[in-house]
Structure 1
Amino acid sequence: MTDDSSQTSRWRHGTRLALCIVFLLGMFYLVAVVRVIDVEGVRDMIASTGPAAPLAYAMVSALLGAILVPGPILAAGSGLLFGPLVGTFVTLGATVGTATSSSFLGRRAGRESARGLLGAERAERLDAQIERRDLWAVVGQRFVPGAPDALASYLFGALGVPLWQMATGAFIGSTPRAFVYTALGASIGDLSAPLAYTAITVWCIITTIIGAYAAHRTYRTWRHRGEEVEPAPKP
């Protein structure tokens, strides 16, 4: 491949990724800032489905999360509808569904372009490293304040993180948050209730422990990668 064609290919891949990013940021602005989707209306509609409401809410929340509706709002609605126990499982189901669907779409939309920008050799090396070690990167991301989970899942998909790691990492990393947001939603009428204090305490303790552990694992992983790719000194 000539230098001109290589440069053209990189430009094409870069443009494609940039368009994907702009599209996702536009979606985030519409649903998180402008709030073009009436989450309360969706919640009321699902509540009228009767016994099927938990499953229906989990499925709809997974789809809404994939189009970047903020997860805490959906989790609070789950707690309000189903209480802290059932609501937590509903929230977890929706969270895993959002993570896997977003990752799948990210892989389909951006994987080829990401590989094109990295180059075949680097992409294959990154794939091997991701499959072995990056579960904890997914877990750790769930504890980063202000980082939208769906956007991160799209990125993980473009980088080639396997779906099983996305599902497992989302489940592990989101369990504390799912309980906290769902419990707060269940006690929305009385935030001074013991349930609300319990949720906040659990969030602080578990976030500190798991977040520190996941960050440590991720740091060691990427440091080890840097040592692997560092060229050996010449004799």
Structure 2
Amino acid sequence: MSDEPPRKRMVKRPTGGTEEGRATPERLKTARDRTPSSQAWLSRQINDPFAAKARAHGYRSRAAYKLTELDDKLKLLKPGARIIDLGLAPGGWTQVAVERGVTNIVGVDLLPVDPISPAHILEMDFTDPACGPMLIDLLGGPPDAVLSDMAPNTVGHKQTDHLRIVGLIEAAADFAISVLKPGGAFVSKAFQGGESWEVVNLLKRHFADVKHIKPKASRAGSSEVYLVATGFKGR
């Protein structure tokens, strides 16, 4: 889930520089019918080296590189592992998992997601009480890792947006604690100051190690970080 504007098809493929980026910044050819925020977002996408790299490598989103960096550090995506991907649209994280040998993976998002074999994908609200049991049923057993790149739709009201962010992190953490295998891991998108101390303390009670990691693919000006808990102690 994301609060970014709908993605628009590029007029032409990126040119200049290497496949990892461009030599010089590109400009939008027209701003007609675009809001200022939409123009700014699209301009960032055009000139973002990770977005260019994702297009060149066939990933559905630049977020794929956030997971590759996290996995390089944490070694979550092992062949034979069971993985749950919460908020998977458009599918970049699941693509990385499959690419790294995971064959048993399920994901869920409110938005429709094109198939990614061999993943099972649900189009529904993760907070629906029926969702969790369906994910476990499709997975065939408890997961080795629960990955969440979920983000709430924001309304621009600081307190309301904070509550929505905390609510999603809490829901994902509670779910992970209720279903993970001993030794398992939980990764959730968070924002600096965006999760409550109660969530962190909850994770510290149930996991051997809890930390925040900001991948290089997260924009420098963004408050986005990832809350990472490893070594699940069991229930």
Larger Rg: 1
Q: Give TM-score, length-normalised by structure 1.
A: 0.30
Larger RCO (CA under 8 A, 6+ residues apart): 1
More helix by share: 1
Q: Give TM-score, length-normalised by structure 2.
A: 0.30
